[in-house]
Amino acid sequence: MLTWLSVRDLAIVEALELEPSPGLNIITGETGAGKSILVSALQLALGARARADVVRSGADRAEVQAAFDLDQSPALRERVEALLDAPAEELVIRRVVKAEGRSRAWVNGVLVPVGTLADLVHGVIDICSQHEHDQLADPGSHLRFLDAFAEVAQEASSMAESWATLKQAQDALDALAARIRDRTEREALVRMQLEEIDAVDPTQGEEESLEDELGRLAHADRLRSAAGQAEEALYAGEDAAGSRLARVGRQMQGVAGVDPALDELVARLDEVRTAVEELGRDLGRYGRGVVHDPRRLAVVEERLGALRRLTRRFGGTPERLLAHRDALRAELEAFDSLEDQLDRLEADRHRAHDRAAASARTLSAARREAAASLGRDITTQLADLGMGDARVEVDLARRERRPEHPEVDGARLGPHGIDRAELLIAPNRGEPPRPLHRIASGGELSRSLLAIKQVLAARAPRGLYVFDEVDTGVGGAVAEAIGRKLADIARHQQVLCITHQPQIAAYGASHWHVRKVRGDERTSSLLTRLDDGGRQDELARMLGGMEVTDAAHAAARDLLARAALTAGGET
């Protein structure tokens, strides 16, 4: 339920606030005063596309805030709490539209994408206006009307879930079938690549090892010469470093007994000599081990070249090359199991189709049981709205088959089952029923939509219905009948109705008046909640036009009394 609406700098509105009551809220005022701007504000709060021209001239931004009580909206509460990951007693939406066209949205103080806002509040407000007749032109809407009347939300949800499972199974099957169709070409490519890699047969760390060996073979003479010279200088030469250190050590041994503190240094000198001599011997062994082998050098160069070519082509690095070979081997093995996978996926799709078919049949049966009753109930409501000779029927038929689409009992299967529905109307007695949107006038479409809403009011989830001048083209007794219908809908739903008809306005539980306020340089809208006296004055104005007479006031009092009596007698 909407508890508060605040509008700032939107179109001609500078600032206004609305705190609607739970029942029927009436909004009246002269043409152009800004009544429908409230509807535009609500649409912005619902995530509608924002245009820069909605910002009031001279302002840098327009702002709409709307608060909703979540006590009687458990589904909405669940969505809000899931989005915010926190408990929520109410939903507060803030939408800001900048003069340059950019807009932002907040939910309970948290910045969210506008698309997320639209998904969150989908279905919270049902807006019906003289410009919304495309609902009656779309058979998809008619099927939703029927489902709401039949109260098959659980069956429809089961149908949607089973269809999603079927679609997923079919997609997996199609993807595998495509792999099988492309198997010959792909398998040949995999085998060719694998044979090319296996012909070289790289091993882990081989390329790095060969690069080290290549360096030794290519510089064998230099390495052997350098190592020999080092051995000569450190150990084998006549004046090698080891010999000189030995002489120094003997000299130090001669004086070691003079000062005990020198013993440690003499010992360290001996360790250095030993290390230098061992290093010289090791270098000599290394140098003698280096062999100049042109044949081995050619073999290493050829092998390393082959490895590098493979690495560049298939991996980029030796590790990726080996990983690519493993993946090719796994893919080749998988080709042998494709037929088994195909059998499993076909079985999965068959089971998913059986479940979807069962859901579709259950849903279709419930719709057929409810279709005739829906037509009769709408017909009854239209009779009260001045269309007593009209007869409405619900044409429920199977969806036409199409190639490559799943079928159930010869009908095309989809996320909403196998049915299509269309509202047909015979406006006059003796005429055959025809599609509603083709033969009904704008006023008749408005009344038909109102009749549908009344039939569904008690069954639909608790929310807000907005009726924007759906009374266009009617008056007198029909307008009063519309008022009674709106009051009846308001027993189950919160209703906001913008009207020019006093017969409708008389039924409001709350009455709001919008008027233009002309300042020195600007015109703006002012929204006022009327008390009992104000309501009578406004109805008298609506009845009397430019001159409000005593007779108009008397007629207004009569309308209010009759509406109160009728509303009090509703059951």
Q: 292-333, pLDDT tens digit by residue?
A: 888 888 988 888 888 888 898 887 888 888 999 999 988 888
Rounded Cα gap, residues 236 and 434, in angstroms: 117
Handedness of CA 378, 380, 385, 386 (dihedral sign): positive
| Beta pairing class for 2-10 and 61-69 | antiparallel
What digits encode the pLDDT tens for the residues 2-11?
999 999 999 8
Specify the DSSP class assigned to residue 96: E
CB < 8 Å & 24+ apart, contacts of 227-234: 227/283, 227/284, 227/286, 227/287, 227/290, 228/284, 228/287, 230/280, 230/283, 230/287, 231/280, 231/281, 231/283, 231/284, 231/287, 233/280, 234/276, 234/277, 234/279, 234/280, 234/283
409: left (phi over 0), alpha (psi -120 to 50) or beta: left
In order, the DSSP letters of 378-439 are HHHHHHHTT-TT-EEEEEEEEPPP-TTS-EETTEE-BTTBSEEEEEEEE-STTPPPEEHHHH
Task: Say if residues 419 and 371 touch (Cβ distance below 8 Å).
Answer: no
3-state secondary structure of 13: strand
Residues facing residue 511 across a β-bridge: 26
What digits encode the pLDDT tens for the residues 402-438?
887 899 999 999 999 999 999 898 888 888 888 876 7
Q: Which two tokens stand for residue 466?
A: 């907005």
pLDDT-derived band at 456 (thresholds 50, 70, 90) equals confident
Specify the DSSP class assigned to residue 55: B
Q: Residue written as tokens 């509202």?
A: 423
CA–CA distance from 23 to each of 394, 433, 454 (Å)?
30, 35, 14
Rounded Cα gap, residues 21 and 261, in angstroms: 104
For residue 290, give the nearest of 356, 222, 351 by alpha carbon: 222
| Beta pairing class for 2-10 and 13-18 | antiparallel
Dmax over CA atoms of the chain, in Å, equals: 144
Start-end ranges of CATH 3.40.50.300 in the chain? 1-124+463-554
What's the confidence (pLDDT) of residue 503? Answer: 92
Rounded Cα gap, residues 224 and 221, in angstroms: 5
- Which alpha helices (H) appear in 85-238, and where do they start and end? 114-120, 134-137, 139-150, 153-181, 183-200, 206-218, 220-231
- Across 443-471, average pLDDT: 80
Which has more confidence, 357 or 255? Answer: 357
Which has more confidence, 274 or 337? Answer: 274
What's the confidence (pLDDT) of residue 353? Answer: 96
Rounded Cα gap, residues 399 and 411, in angstroms: 5
3-state secondary structure of 501: coil
Percent of the chain with pLDDT over 70: 95
Highest averaged pLDDT of the listed ranges 83-87, 164-168, 251-255: 164-168
What's the confidence (pLDDT) of residue 131? Answer: 55
C-alpha torsion 109→110→116→121, nearest 10: -30
Handedness of CA 452, 457, 460, 461 (dihedral sign): positive
In order, the DSSP letters of 229-284 are HHHIIIIISTT-HHHHHHHHHHHHHHHTTT-TTHHHHHHHHHHHHHHHHHHHHHHH
Alpha carbons within 13 angstroms on the beta-carbon side of residue 119 total 8
Task: Say if residues 231 and 283 touch (Cβ distance below 8 Å).
Answer: yes
Q: Can you say how many angstroms the Cα of residue 311 is from the centroid of all Cα atoms in its chain?
A: 43
Residue 440, pLDDT above cutoff 70? no
Residue 206, pLDDT above cutoff 90? no
Which has more confidence, 209 or 518? Answer: 209
Task: Say if residues 385 and 451 touch (Cβ distance below 8 Å).
Answer: yes
* Helices and strands in the chain: count of H runs, count of E runs: 20, 17
Residue 188, pLDDT above cutoff 80? yes
What's the confidence (pLDDT) of residue 435? Answer: 83
Rounded Cα gap, residues 191 and 1, in angstroms: 66
pLDDT-derived band at 160 (thresholds 50, 70, 90) equals very high
pTM of the model: 0.65
Q: Which two tokens stand for residue 334?
A: 């998988």
CATH superfamily name and code, 1-124+463-554: P-loop containing nucleotide triphosphate hydrolases (3.40.50.300)
For residue 133, give the nearest of 391, 512, 545, 439 by alpha carbon: 439
- Across 433-453, average pLDDT: 75
Percent of the chain with pLDDT over 90: 37
CA–CA distance from 511 to each of 19, 55, 454, 539 (Å)?
11, 27, 21, 10
476: left (phi over 0), alpha (psi -120 to 50) or beta: left
User: Can you give the C-alpha Rg of the chain in angstroms?
Assistant: 44
Specify the DSSP class assigned to residue 461: P
Q: Can you say how many angstroms the Cα of residue 569 is from the centroid of all Cα atoms in its chain?
A: 47
* 7 burial level (CB within 10 Å; 0-12, 13-18, 19+): buried
pLDDT-derived band at 571 (thresholds 50, 70, 90) equals very low
Rounded Cα gap, residues 37 and 505, in angstroms: 19
Residue 257, pLDDT above cutoff 80? no
For residue 501, give the nearest of 481, 526, 523, 528 by alpha carbon: 481
- Across 443-464, average pLDDT: 79
Rounded Cα gap, residues 114 and 297, in angstroms: 69
pLDDT-derived band at 130 (thresholds 50, 70, 90) equals low
pLDDT-derived band at 264 (thresholds 50, 70, 90) equals confident
- Across 88-106, average pLDDT: 92
Average pLDDT, the chain: 87
Task: Say if residues 453 and 494 touch (Cβ distance below 8 Å).
Answer: no
What's the confidence (pLDDT) of residue 65? Answer: 96
